[in-house]
Structure 1
């Protein structure tokens, strides 16, 4: 209900308007009255009406002075001047004070009703717009962490637009301009355990891997960012102080690599290879360090510690092939991203541009092209598996190997990749589900960022504009878990890390991961891990 206040030094006018205004029809109510500007000012400040109807000539304080004081203190309600004097100067002052309307006495009730109706309609539109702005602001705040992650990924892979490269860094990353930069590449080894992970476990292990990497890196380097890339690859960006060349830094990097391999093997029983790129002084060269990190892994460069798959890039290491065995990580990332979001036209363009780059190289060997095809097929399989689609079911392995063996020119590779993208994007599993995949990706990321808070499926359904029941179905289909089970698994995974690494008490861990009821947390922990929380820290 809207509220209206009336200010006039003529009591008969006050009473007459109170009786004549069609309150119910306007869905409005009277909240106060006054007979001079000073009393009106106090009454309006205490009641905050939506609409004020006021005279100009009044004792103690006139209407225009009262309005000016109200505007100075931030009053945003609608003000209608009802005066017995039609004076141009008064009207001009009223306009300056953002008055809704200026009418002369006497006024007919139909006219007053129309003016009030117009003012109330404007109020409704303003409230609607304000709600939209608040909702937009909430969404911006909600999506900010995910936008930030995408910016970091683009900075690492070299896919930032040129306009970003020439402008100032985002505020949280201004320090990049004053530090060095080194990329540590991580590659999951596809041994038996990794291949046996279902979709639900795959999402959970990616989350656990990110936690471990950030925890270990943060204990050695004060500044770092972590980003998942395509398939089983991810990247860690370190920002050591300048100057970069020092024995201490090399020892820290060696220690970091060994700890990452050990912790991943110990806590989630997976095997990773680690490559360390060359240090860079300019943040725009971070993508070069990333390429070098994965080249070190591929070429097994400078295997520095026995028993560890830890490699360091060194300038001057050349390979016999002019096309270089170094994998085009930027191309892999761009193509996988386009595929996951069903951007078929964009994928075609990315393939065409990469083909042109290959054709400019001399002596691109067929075995290198076939190697690229095999890796890309594996990346496609990883990327689609993450969103619940099994690529291996779409083509027989024998046929696939035969097709790859026939790829001897960049043009043939491009045509083969384009055909495979078209096949995937037109499949029944893929058609019409792009929005759903994006919604589920958003929700899983949101859970990983906010698992410590109270989260409901209904709340998230509103954010992605899907019904709760429909979202529950597609979430289960694409992750293999119900929403509540997935949330619980994430919380339990984080609680294991807190118990082991930080030596926290059980009730502290329970609160940290979103459980106020400690016995309930302990019950869930045993259900999902097979042991009580206290057994884990003995």
Structure 2
């Protein structure tokens, strides 16, 4: 069940949402209700919801400011905003904060259901990506712990050992050359094997494509540069091998869950 927190200072709105939306049909459960932004923030800390449905204008803490603070605590929470205010700036800022839907009051039940289902789909996709990336990182760590120079294929005779050796050599070459323009064929040529064979053993040994592996290596290097240097984002983009800063930022957020700037702001070490 997906955990829903409702936040609105109008009791009739909250009661209507609780009773009229068929939550169980969409695999959701209302875990709490808050009456203002500060209460909502406190309950998020305690209850850790998956989805928050909230008004924008509330006492003590506005909905948008509450979202900023919740994101700092639990970045994967999804938000659906309800408001009676037709001001463009609210909508634009809500989009910038990653709000799934911005619904004007009064809204109907189908709109609420549709917004929640969209939030669930986004959450599921992101969790699958995170899971895939974590698996890749564990496998990369495993190869970091192996000294591949000690098991050259000519001394081992076993196909599995040869594939592990080649995978380790490929990963090391990618780490050494990630800041250059790099493609599958270049790595395969370095190892004196076909690109098809390299693609096959990377899938078998690491469970990822060459592009996924290269991106992960580049992103890990970018993380170090972001927290240990004063380099600008576009400079880091170039240093880790990307030519397009927006593409680098999208890839970074996919792997880390934060933009490069957000990651630097949260982890700066100097």
TM-score (norm 1): 0.29
Task: Tell me the residue number matched to 2:265.
Answer: none
Aligned residues: CA RMSD: 2.5
Task: Tell me the residue number matched to 1:55.
Answer: 55
Task: Tell me the residue number matched to 1:128.
Answer: 128
For CA contacts below 8 A with separation 6 or more, give which structure has more relative contact order: 2
Task: Tell me the residue number matched to 2:91.
Answer: 91
Task: Tell me the residue number matched to 1:28.
Answer: 28
Tell whether 2:100 aligns with 1:104: no
Q: CA deviation at 1:125?
A: 0.5
Q: CA deviation at 1:66?
A: 1.4
Q: Which runs of 4+ in 1 moved over 4 A?
A: 439-442
Gapped runs of 5+ residues in structure 2? 165-203, 207-270
Q: CA deviation at 1:108?
A: 1.0
Q: CA deviation at 1:144?
A: 1.9
Cα distance in 1 for partners of 2:12, 2:38 equals 20
1:142-165 Cα shifts (integer Å, max 9, x gaps): 22233xx23xx3xxxxxxxxxxxx
* 2:151 and 2:161 in contact (8 A); partners too: no
Q: CA deviation at 1:40?
A: 0.9
Gapped runs of 5+ residues in structure 1? 154-226, 230-335, 338-381, 388-436, 443-462, 466-538
TM-score (norm 2): 0.56
Bigger-Rg structure (1/2): 1
* 2:100 and 2:118 in contact (8 A); partners too: no
Tell whether 2:151 aligns with 1:438: no
Q: Describe how 1:362-381 pairs up with structure 2 within 5 A.
A: none
Cα distance in 1 for partners of 2:133, 2:98 equals 22
Task: Tell me the residue number matched to 1:77.
Answer: 77
* 1:439 and 1:464 in contact (8 A); partners too: no
Change (3 A) 1:10 1:383: closer
Tell whether 2:39 aligns with 1:39: yes
Q: CA deviation at 1:25?
A: 2.0
Q: CA deviation at 1:80?
A: 0.9
Tell whether 2:119 aligns with 1:119: yes
Cα distance in 1 for partners of 2:72, 2:27 equals 29
1:264-304 Cα shifts (integer Å, max 9, x gaps): xxxxxxxxxxxxxxxxxxxxxxxxxxxxxxxxxxxxxxxxx
1:63-98 Cα shifts (integer Å, max 9, x gaps): 122122223444430011100112101112212222
Cα distance in 1 for partners of 2:14, 2:104 equals 15
SS at match of 2:31: strand
Q: CA deviation at 1:126?
A: 0.7
Cα distance in 2 for partners of 1:439, 1:47 equals 48
Which deviates the most, 134-143 or 57-66? 57-66
Task: Tell me the residue number matched to 1:418.
Answer: none
Task: Tell me the residue number matched to 2:195.
Answer: none
